Amino acid sequence: MAKSRGRRAEKQKNKEHKHKHKHEHKDEQKEAFETAEDVAQEPEQTPTSTNINSFFGLVDSTELEYFKSAESTLNVNAFETPDERLNFINSVFEESRGKELKLVTNQICSKLMERLIQHANEQQIKQLFRAFNGNFIQLCNQKYSSHVMETFLIRSAALIEQEILRQNEGDLDDEDANDEEGYVSMENMFLFMLSELKPHLQSMVSHDYASHVLRVLLLVVAGRQLPSAIQSNSILRSKKSKIARKMIDIKDTEDYERSYQVPKSFESELSSILKTIYHGQTTQSLRELAIKPTASPVLQLLIQLEGLVDKERSFWCLTFNPANHEKDSKEGSFVEYLLSDPIGSHFFETALFTQKMKNVDRLYQFYMKDRILKLAKRETTGVFVVMMMMKKLKRPEQL
């Protein structure tokens, strides 16, 4: 994946736009650029799924005192032995039984649930799967529980790999076989959750909180490296979210910054997820998503992952129309906007990273070659795309 980078303030962006309008005189591109700018700045519509009720009750004062104290104890790690810590985690999990939904949606208790999940065993994660069943989309959409869901997905990925390794060795734990609620594999529980989320996938793409969960979900299903939740260059979080994570002081565990083995069923699930999100999309709708702050990182990831299960590369082809062997004024205006906008240029840079050479070369020849030096002077936008192009292009084109 392309390396993430910082951006200057919106004020600098506006100055660059004014400078561009003053010195460029291509009326058609200017009109399309301004249209795209209006799209980028208009308020995002609230997805239908945000109207789903996510209130699961209040945590009473006694419960709040207990769980707040437990969160503080785990945070300072005041345990003499690993066994003492494990026993404490087990006891808190038991205390949370039946209260999981209201705990994960509570500002204070959600931090505790994240810490518990990071160290949860398979049976405890299955306990949460059962508790969350029927409410996954509400949890993805809610401010506090969405962070819990990200941690939950990453921990689930680690446990699914462990399950695969045990199956390969023909080793089924007695604890699994004697599950009092009936044995269900981690793989199947994950698939049940995906089935519940599928009707809401399109709305998740643009949702302030659910879009972050969706990005983790895509990485897990694709078996790709899961990012750090706290590093400044993590693709997982927005700038605001990274600041919030530092204040919470929840550190990464060994589950992060690595990839996991996934079952064969996940390949077809990835294909199904992409088709569900792609269904009904148009060139215009995908171009609008590419320049929206919340949706753009999701679209970048979709374009990077689609080659694993879609040889036609549907998202890329509908966004850029590589079958067209001539310049297209609307595509040219879209590319120009991407090269001039912080969000758009980040999308363009990342989307180009995993593209076939012919797709990269086509855009370069049509819309960039004759003004590459000029684009390189756009210090907060176009220069990053130029740098990516220079890495991808054949040597003669770099001269």
One domain for residues 40 and 109: no
Q: Are residues 137 and 173 in the same domain?
A: yes
Answer with the residue of higher pLDDT: 280 or 50: 280
Do residues 188 and 34 lie in contact, with contact meaning Cβ atoms separated by under 8 Å?
no
pLDDT of residue 183: 86
For 151-162, how does the pLDDT look when each residue is reduced to its tens digit (9 = 90+)?
A: 999 999 999 999
Tokens (6 digits) for 51: 């109207």
In this structure, are 60 and 167 located in the same domain?
Answer: yes
Query: What is the per-residue DSSP string for 108-134?
Result: HHHHHHHHHHHT--HHHHHHHHHHHTT
Question: Are 96 and 205 in a shared domain?
Answer: yes
C-alpha to C-alpha distance for 176 and 258, rounded to whole angstroms: 26
> 124 lies in a domain?
yes
Residue 308 lies in a domain: no
Cα diameter, the chain? 74
At 290, is the secondary structure helix, strand, or coil?
A: helix
Backbone angles phi, psi at 348, to 5 degrees: -65, -45
79 shares its domain with 172: yes
The parent domain of residue 194 ranges over 50-260
- Decide if pLDDT at 256 tops 80: yes
Residue 7 has pLDDT above 50, yes or no: no
- Residue 52's pLDDT band (cuts 50, 70, 90): low
Name the token pair of 90: 């087990």
226/79 same-domain check:
yes
Residue 348 lies in a domain: yes
Query: How many C-beta atoms lie closer than 10 Å to residue 201's C-beta?
Result: 24
The chain-wide mean pLDDT, for the chain, equals 83
**Same structural domain for residues 54 and 76?**
yes
Encode pLDDT of 63-75 as tens digits: 999 999 999 999 8
In a domain, 361, yes or no: yes
Domain count of the chain? 2
Task: Note whether residue 235 is domain-resident.
Answer: yes
Exposure letters 255-284 (e unless 16+ CB within 10 A, then b): bbeeebebbeebeebbebbbeebbeebeee
Check whether residue 82 and residue 32 sit in a common domain: no
Residue 278 lies in a domain: no
Question: Do 34 and 122 belong together in one domain?
Answer: no
Place of tokens 């994950």: 190
Residue 29 domain-assigned?
A: yes
Query: 362 lies in a domain?
Result: yes
Residue 258 β-bridge partners: 226
For residues 21 and 126, state if they share a domain: no
Distance CA 256, CA 254 (A): 5
Contact by Cβ (8 Å): 380, 12: yes
pLDDT at 281 over 70: yes
Whether 189 and 253 share a structural domain: yes
State whether 163 and 201 are in the same domain: yes
